[in-house]
């Protein structure tokens, strides 16, 4: 029933698909001759196309960032708390675009798509992607939508890394960069957790070297374990303790290997749900893109030199209990931006929710985020007025 949809929601949304036939050269040396990107848009593109905001998703994200797919939809998009009329990314002012990344499993071309060269699914033959490849594909989506200059590129976690790479690679095609709960590159521990997840998937006998589709199966156990490990790193020790403590599922210890503690039950459920809905090859690819991300590498390892390419304003946000990408990792970016002479706002938000905090309502986070986006919206409107000759152009 549409009357169940909240007033500050973007409402019912429909994904769209853009096809591309210009070959895309990838970092790995291979080329994708053609591909499609699935995306959603919220709000209205203004006449001079100056109010577009691109949302980049994280590891298991999709193009469905806000609103509902039907009146019966039980859950809105993954960032609904922050995208909508009157919200931080205000759809009364912005035209918001969110896509599923290349290599994803939600509708954009990826391992589950048909490889035109063979007529079979790509599976493990789909090329390994990098954050730069995604940025290049997103540029094309902008071209397709008639957006030359984005008002802002915004993302959390791996999404924040895409925003950061955008600011370096395409400084003239964006005005603002929002990097939330990210890092300038992964630590050895971050890579180690990704490697455990990959080994869980790849050592599952149902993985069949990534050709599980040909065998009519999926590496369910491996994906489930990968998600369980991931989930531990998304929550803070504190929030896990608050949520579950040492609560037992039944009223006494059963001295066996079935679920005993609530936290076990929660993790198994999260793992099971994920393993039925996410593609294993995509999971591998996404974790590798994380591992490879290192924008400073092409600048002699000097992050401030890399960010010296950027022209946008920056907002950086971290969360006090995030131990996946701790505040100190955001602060490395802030320091490099400052050294590079860029405009940067930074807030470390007190939150008990660990890495997941970037998805969860929080008053101070909202205040900081809204203020930055408001300025970006004013800028976009000023841009429009300037182009109409109503004000002087800056």
Q: Which chain residues interact with a second copy by CB under 8 A?
A: 27-29, 124, 127-128, 185-189, 191-193, 195-196, 198-200, 202-205, 221, 224-225, 228-229, 231-232, 235, 237, 240-241, 243-246, 253, 255-257, 260-261, 263-264, 267-268, 271, 284, 288, 291-292, 294, 323
β-strand pairing of 176-180 with 152-156: parallel
Give the nearer residue to a second copy in terms of CB position, either 53 or 263. 263
For residues 107 and 15, the answer to whether their CB atoms sit within 8 Å is yes
**What's the min distance (Å) between Cβ of 370 and a second copy?**
32
21: annotated active-site residue = no
34 is known as an active-site residue: no
227 is in an annotated binding site: yes
d(CA 27, CA 370): 35
If the CB atoms of residues 91 and 233 are measured against a second copy, the closer one turns out to be 233
Q: What Cα–Cα distance (Å) separates residue 247 from each residue in 175, 231, 243, 258?
A: 49, 19, 9, 15
Whichever of 192 and 367 has its CB closer to a second copy, that residue is 192
Question: How many residues would you count in the chain?
Answer: 394
User: Please, are residues 312 and 341 in contact by the beta-carbon 8 Å criterion?
Assistant: no
Q: In this structure, is the dihedral angle defined by the CA atoms of residues 352, 357, 360 and 363, taken in order, positive or negative?
A: positive
Known catalytic residue at 187: no
Q: Compute the chain's Rg from CA coordinates.
A: 21
Tokens of 263: 């936290």
> Was 93 annotated as part of a binding site?
no
The beta strands (E) that lie in 219-290 are given as none
Strand residue runs (E) in the chain: 16-20, 24-25, 31-32, 35-42, 52-56, 83-84, 89-90, 95-99, 114-115, 120-121, 152-156, 176-180, 313-319, 344-349
Contacts of residue 371, defined as CB under 8 A and 6 or more positions apart, other chains included, come to none
Q: Least Å distance between CB 226 and a second copy?
A: 10
Exactly one of 106, 157, 167, 239 is catalytic; name it: 157
d(CA 215, CA 130): 28
Give the span between the Cα atoms of 367 and 88, in whole angstroms: 8
Catalytic, out of 80, 90, 133, 322: 322
Structure tokens at 152: 């802002």
- Phi and psi at residue 303, in whole multiples of 5°? -65, -35
Rounded to whole angstroms, how far apart are CA atoms 80 and 102?
22
User: Which of residues 45 and 202 has its CB atom nearest to a second copy in the complex?
Assistant: 202
Q: Which residues are catalytic?
A: 157, 322, 355
Q: Which residues belong to the annotated binding site for substrate?
A: 227, 356
């Amino acid at each position: 029933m549409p009357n169940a949809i909240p007033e500050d929601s973007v409402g019912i949304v429909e994904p769209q698909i853009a096809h591309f036939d210009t070959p895309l050269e990838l970092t790995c040396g291979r080329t994708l001759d053609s591909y499609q990107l699935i995306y959603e848009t919220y709000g209205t593109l203004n006449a001079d196309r100056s109010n577009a905001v691109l949302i980049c998703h994280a590891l298991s994200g999709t193009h469905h960032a806000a609103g509902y797919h039907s009146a019966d939809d039980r859950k809105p998009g993954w960032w609904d708390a922050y995208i909508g009329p009157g919200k931080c990314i205000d759809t009364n002012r912005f035209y918001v675009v969110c896509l599923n990344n290349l290599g994803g499993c939600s509708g954009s071309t990826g391992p589950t798509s048909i490889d035109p060269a063979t007529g079979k699914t790509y599976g493990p033959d789909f090329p390994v992607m990098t954050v730069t490849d995604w940025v290049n594909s997103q540029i094309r989506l902008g071209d397709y939508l008639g957006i030359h200059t984005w008002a802002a590129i915004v993302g959390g976690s791996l999404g924040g890394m895409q925003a950061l790479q955008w600011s370096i690679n395409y400084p003239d095609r964006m005005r603002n960069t929002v990097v939330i709960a990210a890092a300038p590159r992964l630590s050895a521990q971050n890579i180690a957790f990704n490697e455990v997840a990959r080994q869980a998937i790849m050592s599952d006998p149902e993985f069949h070297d990534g050709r599980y589709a040909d065998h009519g199966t999926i590496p369910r156990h491996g994906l489930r374990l990968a998600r369980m490990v991931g989930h531990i790193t998304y929550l803070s020790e504190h929030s896990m303790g608050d949520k579950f403590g040492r609560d037992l599922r039944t009223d006494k210890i059963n001295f066996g290997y079935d679920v005993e503690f609530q936290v076990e039950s929660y993790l198994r459920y999260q793992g099971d749900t994920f393993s039925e809905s996410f593609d294993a090859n995509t999971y591998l690819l996404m974790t590798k893109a994380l591992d490879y991300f290192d924008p400073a590498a092409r600048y002699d390892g000097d992050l401030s030199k890399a960010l010296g390419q950027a022209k946008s304003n920056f907002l950086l946000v971290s969360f006090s209990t995030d131990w996946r990408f701790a505040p100190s990792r955001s602060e490395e970016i802030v320091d490099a931006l400052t050294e590079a002479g860029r405009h940067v706002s930074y807030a470390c938000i007190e939150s008990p929710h660990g890495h997941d905090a970037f998805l969860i309502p929080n008053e101070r986070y909202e205040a900081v985020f809204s203020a930055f986006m408001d300025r970006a919206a004013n800028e976009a409107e000023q841009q429009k007025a300037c182009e109409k000759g109503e004000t002087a152009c800056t």
